[in-house]
Structure 1
Amino acid sequence: MFNVGDHVVYPYHGAGTIKDIEEKDILGEKLNYYVVFFPLNHVTLMLPENRIKSSGLRKIIQPKQIEEVVTAMQPTEYASKKEAARPYSKENETLLKSGSIIDAAMVIANLTSKEGERTNGLHMEDRKNLDRAKQFIVSELMLVKNISEEEAYQFINENSKGA
């Protein structure tokens, strides 16, 4: 399934690296746990092997897929009109929880478009979702492109209109 050293993405936490696979004896049952370190947050998570599939854990994207992320970050007229009527969208939170980098890029597109149309900026919940989406993408870009956090944020800002 996964191996030590694999770069993976865990929904809502972002990208990290499998540092170890440990066997634990819990209540007489032996289970393998994936130990995943998330460098951007400095968090380590232990995920039981029998919950990997349901957790949404996946490998990071391939470098050739970065162009899809850039395309998804581009605001559309449809997204802008759809978002304008609401103070914040549960749809954006749902997209962020999916664990998909494309979904996170769509959140950036939705919210940067909305931000450009508002004279007083985004509502607090929208700002939080925009920050989460950027952080999620940054964590993955750092591993895919082997770049720093600052370079990853710069990449997002250069490739999303109005960000």
Structure 2
Amino acid sequence: MSKSKTHEFRPDDFVVYPAHGVGKIVSIEEQEVAGMSLELFVISFEKDKMTLRVPTNKAEDVGMRSLSSPDVVDQAMKTLKGKARVKRAMWSRRAQEYEQKINSGDLIAIAEVVRDLHRNDDQREQSYSERQLYEAALERLTREVSAVSGGDEGAAAKKVDEVLLSRAA
């Protein structure tokens, strides 16, 4: 797959926008801004009922990318199976790192957050902020796994869940 810099994204493509996760390009439109013509990707995030307009020439700078390949999804699943690596740093610092990983748009980094914050039922309670970060990471991971495998979010959630549960065994 060669990635030419001129428009690798087309309408109906699923893309990953780092700060928001998986969205779908609805159209490419021209808008006049300050007397200059600007070409924009119009990206819909259906689940969040949000539409984002990203200048086509800035898409790369903001880290917008195509969906991960099935290989990367497999790597993310392997990452989930790994042992949680929780640093001894203060929670505020760890939370910041987790947040950065989630918003990096990097599926493997997101899988690391899910792995590190996952709790089995018999483990200690999670704080509210831990739970928020865990759910945000889990949702990003699940949506991308779902989009890569053809769009069944329920099946993707089940797959991720099975991997996390198999880890506990």
- TM-score bracket for the superposition, by shorter chain length: 0.7 to 0.9
Question: What residue number does 1:110 align with?
Answer: 116
For the aligned residue pairs, the C-alpha RMSD in angstroms reads 2.2
**Counterpart of 1:26 in structure 2: which amino acid?**
V
CA contact (8 A) 1:16 1:139 kept: no
Corresponding residue to 1:31 among 26, 32, 38:
38
Q: Give the CA deviation at 1:116.
A: 4.6
Corresponding residue to 1:151 among 135, 152, 155:
155
Unaligned 5+ residue runs, structure 2? Answer: 1-6
Corresponding residue to 1:123 among 124, 127, 138:
127
What SS does the aligned partner of 2:38 have? strand
Q: Give the CA deviation at 1:134.
A: 0.8
**Counterpart of 1:134 in structure 2: which amino acid?**
L
Whole-Å separation in 2 of the counterparts to 1:94 and 1:143: 22
Q: Could you tell me the TM-score, scaled by structure 2's length?
A: 0.83
Question: What residue number does 2:102 align with?
Answer: 96
Question: What residue number does 2:65 align with?
Answer: 58
Aligned residues: 158
Whole-Å separation in 1 of the counterparts to 2:112 and 2:78: 9
What SS does the aligned partner of 1:40 have? helix
Question: What residue number does 2:11 align with?
Answer: 4
What SS does the aligned partner of 1:89 have? helix
Question: What residue number does 1:21 align with?
Answer: 28
What SS does the aligned partner of 1:121 have? coil
**Counterpart of 2:80 in structure 1: which amino acid?**
M
Q: Give the CA deviation at 1:89.
A: 2.5
**Counterpart of 1:106 in structure 2: which amino acid?**
E
Whole-Å separation in 1 of the counterparts to 2:128 and 2:98: 13
**Counterpart of 1:32 in structure 2: which amino acid?**
E
Deviations along 1:69-94, one digit per CA (max 9) or x if unpaired, are 101112425x04x2586475321111
CA contact (8 A) 1:75 1:110 kept: no
Q: Give the CA deviation at 1:59.
A: 0.3
Deviations along 1:11-59, one digit per CA (max 9) or x if unpaired, are 1311111110000011210000001112332321111123212211000
Q: Determine whether 1:137 maps to 2:162.
A: no
Q: Give the CA deviation at 1:64.
A: 2.9
Whole-Å separation in 1 of the counterparts to 2:72 and 2:60: 22
Whole-Å separation in 2 of the counterparts to 1:74 and 1:84: 23
Q: Give the CA deviation at 1:67.
A: 1.1
Q: Could you tell me the TM-score, scaled by structure 1's length?
A: 0.86
